[in-house]
Amino acid sequence: QLQLQESGPGLVKPSETLSLTCTVSGGSISSSSYYWGWIRQPPGKGLEWIGSIYYSGSTYYNPSLKSRVTISVDTSKNQFSLKLSSVTAADTAVYYCARRVVIVGAFDIWGQGTMVTVSS
């Protein structure tokens, strides 16, 4: 069945750019039925939607993060990626990638999550 796996550095320095990749296996990222998204969760806190991308490259970002976020898709590699610039300690969180079903709007499949710490 379809699986998602996040990858990237677990430690990022303040003011630098956080970069994560989500690899989709067991299915195609190019399906018209799904969006692909990033969600994060600071330690002990709730879920925050970061943004979503369609296989065509259309993107939608959380307004509170929009100035610092870029999400891209590589259909040839069945991957999508997150870049978050100018990070601070407030960006320390578990970052999840997930599949969102177009017709119902819900995230039905999630990656296991990856912890990213922002620290010098």
Partner 1 sequence: DIQMTQSPSSVSASVGDRVTITCRASQGISSWLAWYQQKPGKAPKLLIYAASSLQSGVPSRFSGSGSGTDFTLTISSLQPEDFATYYCQQANSFLLGFGPGTKVDIK
Min. distance of Cβ 107 from partner 1 in angstroms? Answer: 6
CB nearer to partner 1: pick between 16 and 49 = 49
Query: Do 107 and 4 meet the contact criterion of CB atoms below 8 Å apart?
Result: no
Pairing assessment for the beta strands 11-12 and 114-118 based on DSSP bridges: parallel
Query: Do 74 and 81 meet the contact criterion of CB atoms below 8 Å apart?
Result: yes
CB nearer to partner 1: pick between 16 and 59 = 59
CB nearer to partner 1: pick between 47 and 89 = 47
Min. distance of Cβ 31 from partner 1 in angstroms? Answer: 17
Which among 61, 59, 4 has a CA at the least distance from the CA of 29?
Answer: 4
Min. distance of Cβ 77 from partner 1 in angstroms? Answer: 22
